[in-house]
Structure 1
Amino acid sequence: MVKPDNDKLNQVIAESRRASEERGQGYRERALKMYPHICGRCAREFNRANLHELTVHHRDHNHDNNPADGSNWELLCLYCHDNEHQRQLEAQRGNTASAGPARETATYNPFADLKSMLDKDK
C-alpha cells in the first residue's frame, strides 16, 4: 500500500488556493472599479462597510473567462449570487418549474348543487 505524502498534498492545495485567490482578486478589483456598487438582481446598494458582501458572478459560470471589458461579470450580493448558483444546479438536475408532468386542474365543485339543496329544505 502506497502512503500519500501529506506534505506534498498540503503544498499543492495551498498553491491552488493562493492561485485562486489571486485570480479572484484580479477580476474582483477590476469589476468593482468598472461597475456601480449595486446588486444586479435586487438593486441593493453597497458602501465601504458592506462591500465585502458584493460578489462577482460569471455569467457563463466559467471563472477563467475574464474579458477586459467585463462582459462576463455581474455584481451580485451574497444572497442573489447563491440563488443564481442554486438555480443553475436545479436546472442541471431538471428541477425547473416547467419541468415534469403537467398536473390536471380540479374539476369537482362541492358547491355546484348547493342552491337546490338549500331550496329543498324550505
Structure 2
Amino acid sequence: MSKVDALLAKAQQERESGYRAKALRMYEHICGRCAREFSGKRLSELTVHHRDHNHDNNPADGSNWELLCLYCHDNEHQRQVDLHYQKEEAAGQKSPQQTFKGLAGLAELLAKK
C-alpha cells in the first residue's frame, strides 16, 4: 500500500469513526430496516447509513444517519444503483451492453455433429 493510499484510508477511518461513534451513542443498537438488535462483538455489523448518500453531510443532530446492519446497508445501496439504471433506461440513455455471449456458436457446433 502506498503512502497516499495509507493516508486516505486513515483519513476515511477517522471520519467514519467520529460519526459512527456519535450515531451509536444517539440511537439504539437496532437495524432500522430488519429490526435486528446488535451488541458485543456483533456491534461491528451495524453501520451508519447516510440517508442522502452524502458521507460529508454529518449534522450534529444525526438527522442524516440511520443505523443499518451490513446486509440492509448493502441492499439499500443496491436499490440506488438499480434506480439509477432504471432512470437511464426511461430517459432513453444507453445502458451497459452485454459483451459476453456464453452460447454464441452453439448452433454451429451442434450442426457439425
TM over 0.5: yes
TM-score by structure 2 length? 0.74
Partner of 1:70: 62
Unmatched 5+ residue regions in structure 1? 1-8, 100-122
Instruction: Number of aligned residue pairs: give it.
Output: 88
Helix, strand or coil for the counterpart of 2:2? helix
Helix, strand or coil for the counterpart of 1:84? helix
TM-score by structure 1 length? 0.69
Q: CA RMSD in A?
A: 1.4
Partner of 1:82: 74
Unmatched 5+ residue regions in structure 2? 91-113
Mapping 1:51-62, distance limit 5 Å? 51-62=43-54
- The one-letter code of the counterpart of 2:18 is G
Structure 1 moving runs of 4+ over 4 Å: none
Task: Kindly provide the CA deviation profile for residues 34-66 of structure 1, in whole angstroms up to 9, marking residues without a partner as x.
Answer: 000000000001111310000000000011110
Identity of aligned residues (%): 68
Kindly indicate which of the two structures has a greater share of residues assigned to helix.
2
